[in-house]
Amino acid sequence: MFEDTASALFGVEGLQVTGVQAAPDGGIEVWVVTDCQAAAACPDCGTVSGRVHETVVTRPRDVRRAGAAVDLRWVKLRRKCANGECPRKTFTEWVPDLPPRCRITARLREQAAHEVAGRGIPPAEAARHAGISWPVAHGAFAAAADPVLGQPASPVAHLGIDEHRRGRARFAVDERTGDYAVLADRWHTCFSGLDGQQGLLGQVEGRTADDAAYRLAGATPAWRDAVRVVCIDLCSIYASAVRRMLPHATLTVDLFHVVQLAVKTVGDVRRRVVRARYGRRGRCGDPEYGIKGLLARNLENLSSGQFTKILDTLDRDRYGQEIAAAWIGKEKLRDALNLRARVTGSVPCERQVRDRLFSFYDWRAQHDDIPELVTLAKTVSRWEDQIAAAVITGLTNATSESLNRLAKLEARLAYGFRNPRNQRRRVRIACTRGSRRRSRTATSTETRTVTGRKPDPG
Ligand SMILES: [Zn+2]
């Protein structure tokens, strides 16, 4: 309840505005006094005291008003406790928005926290705008973020696990051998629900099987039981963690990474063959160099002219035919992956997928003189069950990859992180912002009442 319009506009409960003037630096100077019954009560014994010890002026930080910095001057009393038994001799007045020893208003703290958590502004920038220090802005953000992030995640049926590099790896030259040695290469393992409803579920430092298993072990048994499918990259470490902690779940691999591997195989064969043929690396003007982009494309996306260009280039000699064999191998593998419902419109049966994979193995058997194709087939056969499961379920790790992009963006905005805990907090807040927005209910409808008007100054 505010007694006058100026105090209502200022809007800190328990403070009454007594004067406003322009500050020399372009801001505004606001003078206030305490207007709160409870402020006269001793915080220890609760006795209301009328005995004044001294008058002090404090300058707590407050939010900007219409863009201008506010220089708040609070004239408050230090009172003597009226209770002779009380160990506290004197106390200063305080109001709920500015508790004892607090030098910034609750709304400024809230604003700094919201700028970081809700709008993605780095704490350093939020602090600069609010006229406070980085630790204060960051502390406000952490205090607001931790309870939100501490809430247990809802169960997910489809879980994605992916790794995320914390920062650039650092190397040093070994003086004895002259080789590069890794000084630091730090990773996070990220967990996300593939329905995309909850954003990033959590992270853990490191990327070993134990690290991932540790995070899964922290979840409740009911949460673990709810996971039906887990999607990972072609990463045996996470596969082992999933088998250990979620033995009932179906493991699938992200098909993008399978195709990426096949495209890389074609590129490896092309580079080896070009070096064998010309005795140097490929360069602009070589026929093989002219089709390197086309070889990476999906067959169905090539125009007839582009298709003919590939055939004409590769049909000329045995070198070209070796590249062609790898390219056809890639397309045979993609044939199996293209059985997924998103492409065909109907869910395939396992037999169909395995038949097409067999056709790929058969092709590799006919070309066992191409080592890269042999390696690819070996990898595919090792992951055959997971690839078949991915084609049948149609699940991809795209959600995890998109969250990785957000995590990278956050690291850039922060110019890198030194503290992994801060990084996890900031990344998780950034990667759950969308889901928080969706779940937000109606905003507060609290109103401020003006009970009286200031008499006209004239
Ligand atoms: Zn007292």
Q: What is the pLDDT of residues 381-416, one digit of tens each?
A: 999 999 999 999 999 999 998 999 999 999 999 998
Ligand 1 midpoint to CA 48 (Å): 8
The percent of residues in the chain predicted with pLDDT above 90, rounded, is 61
Element (H, E) at 123: helix 123-130
Is residue 258 over pLDDT 90? yes
According to the model, what pLDDT value does residue 100 have?
A: 83
Compute the distance from residue 90 Cα to the ligand 1 centre, in Å: 8
- On whether the CB atoms of residues 130 and 152 are closer than 8 A, the answer is no
- Looking at residue 423, its amino acid is Q
Ligand 1 center to 104 CA (angstroms): 25
Q: What is the pLDDT of residue 222?
A: 93
pLDDT of residue 407: 92
Centre of ligand 1 to C-alpha 45, Å, is 4
Instruction: Please give the DSSP secondary-structure letter assigned to residue 348.
Output: P
Residue of higher predicted confidence among 254 and 317: 254
**Cα 80 to averaged position of ligand 1 atoms, centre (Å):** 8
What Cα–Cα distance (Å) separates residue 295 from each residue in 307, 329, 377? Answer: 10, 12, 19
pLDDT per residue as tens digits for the range 336-367 = 999 999 888 889 999 999 999 999 999 999 99
Q: How far is the CA of 41 from the centre of ligand 1 (A)?
A: 8
Report the separation in Å between the CA atom of 82 and the middle of ligand 1, taken as the mean of its atom positions.
7
pLDDT at 284 over 50: yes
CA nearest to 374, candidates 325, 407, 425: 325
pLDDT band for position 435 (50/70/90)?
Answer: confident
Ligand 1 center to 58 CA (angstroms)? 22
- Please tell me the distance between residue 94's alpha carbon and the centre of ligand 1 in angstroms: 14
Q: What is the DSSP secondary structure assignment for residue 346, as one 8-state letter? A: S
Q: What is the pLDDT, as a whole number, of residue 240?
A: 94
Cα(54) to centroid of ligand 1, in Å? 16
* Residue 49 alpha carbon to ligand 1 centre in Å: 9
CA of 44 to the centre of ligand 1 (A): 5
Compute the distance from residue 73 Cα to the ligand 1 centre, in Å. 26
- 181-189 average pLDDT score: 87
Q: Confidence class of residue 453 from pLDDT cuts 50, 70 and 90?
A: low
Ion ligand 1: residues, CB < 5 A:
42, 44-45, 81, 83, 86, 88
Q: How confident is the model at residue 189 (pLDDT cuts 50, 70, 90)?
A: very high
- State pLDDT tens for residues 116-171: 999 989 999 999 999 999 999 999 999 999 998 888 888 999 999 999 988 888 88
What average pLDDT score do residues 18-47 get? 89
pLDDT score at 441: 52
Q: How far is the CA of 31 from the centre of ligand 1 (A)?
A: 28
With bands split at pLDDT 50, 70 and 90, how would you rate the model's confidence at 456? low
Instruction: Inform me whether the pLDDT recorded for 316 exceeds 70.
Output: yes
Q: 50 CA distance to ligand 1 centroid (A)?
A: 12
Centre of ligand 1 to C-alpha 87, Å, is: 7
Is residue 394 a contact partner of residue 341, using CB atoms and an 8 Å limit?
yes
pLDDT of residue 160: 94
Give 36-69 pLDDT, tens digit per residue: 888 888 888 888 888 899 999 999 999 998 888 9
Q: How far is the CA of 46 from the centre of ligand 1 (A)?
A: 6
Q: Which distant-in-sequence residues (6+ apart) come within 8 Å of 102 by Cβ?
A: 60
Give residue 379's region: left, alpha or beta (phi > 0; psi -120 to 50). alpha
CA of 56 to the centre of ligand 1 (A): 19
What is the pLDDT at residue 444? Answer: 46
Answer yes or no: pTM beyond 0.85: no
In the reported structure, the alpha carbon of residue 75 is separated from the centroid of ligand 1 by a whole-number distance in angstroms of 21
Question: d(Cα 359, Cα 362) in Å, to the nearest integer?
Answer: 5
pLDDT per residue over 94-128, tens digit each? 898 998 888 999 999 999 999 999 998 999 999 99
**Ligand 1 mean position, distance from CA 62 (Å):** 29
CA 25 to centroid of chain Cα atoms: 39
Looking at residue 1, its pLDDT comes to 66
Q: Of all residues in the chain, what percent carry a pLDDT higher than 70?
A: 96
Distance from the alpha carbon of residue 42 to the mean position of ligand 1, in angstroms: 5
Whether 29 contacts 21, CB under 8 Å:
yes
Q: How far is the CA of 47 from the centre of ligand 1 (A)?
A: 6
How far away, in angstroms, is 77 Cα from ligand 1 center? Answer: 15
How many residues are listed for the chain in this entry? 458
Please tell me the distance between residue 100's alpha carbon and the centre of ligand 1 in angstroms. 15
Helix H or strand E encompassing 73: strand 70-80
Amino acid 116 reads: V
Calculate how far, in angstroms, residue 93's C-alpha sits from the geometric centre of ligand 1.
13
Q: Which has the closest alpha carbon to 191: 421, 428, 391, 438?
A: 428
Compute the distance from residue 102 Cα to the ligand 1 centre, in Å: 20
Ligand 1 centroid distance, CA of 53 (Å): 14
Q: How many CB atoms lie within 10 A of CB 144?
A: 18
Report the separation in Å between the CA atom of 92 and the middle of ligand 1, taken as the mean of its atom positions.
11
